[in-house]
């Protein structure tokens, strides 16, 4: 859905183009990465969509904070479930709650969720 909105407004985007290392073991090997959902090259902006349960949002917020600590020059904006819902509704796209393996989320109404 986010990609369709970006396409409609002719905003260039790349899907998860960069994996940022955010955690290393004692030997210096990367043990955790964070890959924001979209990169908008014309705006030099990464976008992360978080439409899942609060528990997972909290975990993702920690990763975003860590990314900002390690890479202060990286511009990133997090869109939460309420933000994304408002965006979909603004453009006349009905939304429905859907089951998600990791704890819930949003989908356009009528979309097959595979469950």
Domains and CATH numbers, the chain: 1-91 (3.40.960)
pLDDT band at 106 (very low <50, low <70, confident <90, very high): very low
Q: Convert the pLDDT of each residue in 80-93 to its tens digit.
A: 877 777 777 776 76
pTM for the full predicted model: 0.71
Rounded-to-integer distance, Cα 17 and Cα 7, Å: 17
Rounded-to-integer distance, Cα 81 and Cα 57, Å: 9
- Residue range 59-82: mean pLDDT, rounded: 92
pLDDT at 107: 43
Of 33-37, 96-100, 105-109, give the lowest mean pLDDT range: 105-109
Rounded-to-integer distance, Cα 89 and Cα 84, Å: 9
Rounded-to-integer distance, Cα 40 and Cα 78, Å: 13
- Residues near 87 by beta carbon (within 8 Å), at least 6 away in sequence: 5, 79
**% residues pLDDT > 70 (the chain):** 75
User: Measured on CA atoms in the order 107, 109, 111, 115, is the torsion positive or negative?
Assistant: positive
pLDDT at 92: 73
Record the tokens describing residue 68, joined without a space: 């900002």
pLDDT band at 52 (very low <50, low <70, confident <90, very high): low
């Amino acid at each position: 859905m986010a990609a369709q909105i970006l396409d409609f407004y002719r905003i260039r985007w790349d899907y998860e183009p960069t994996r940022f290392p955010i955690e290393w073991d004692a030997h210096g090997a990367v043990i955790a990465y964070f890959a924001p959902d979209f990169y908008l090259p014309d705006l030099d902006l990464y976008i992360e969509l978080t439409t899942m349960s609060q528990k997972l949002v909290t975990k993702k917020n920690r990763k975003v904070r860590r990314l900002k600590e390690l890479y202060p020059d990286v511009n990133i904006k997090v869109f939460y479930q309420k933000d994304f819902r408002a965006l979909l509704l603004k453009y006349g796209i009905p939304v429905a709650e859907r089951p998600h393996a990791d704890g819930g989320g949003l989908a356009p109404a009528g979309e097959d969720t595979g469950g």
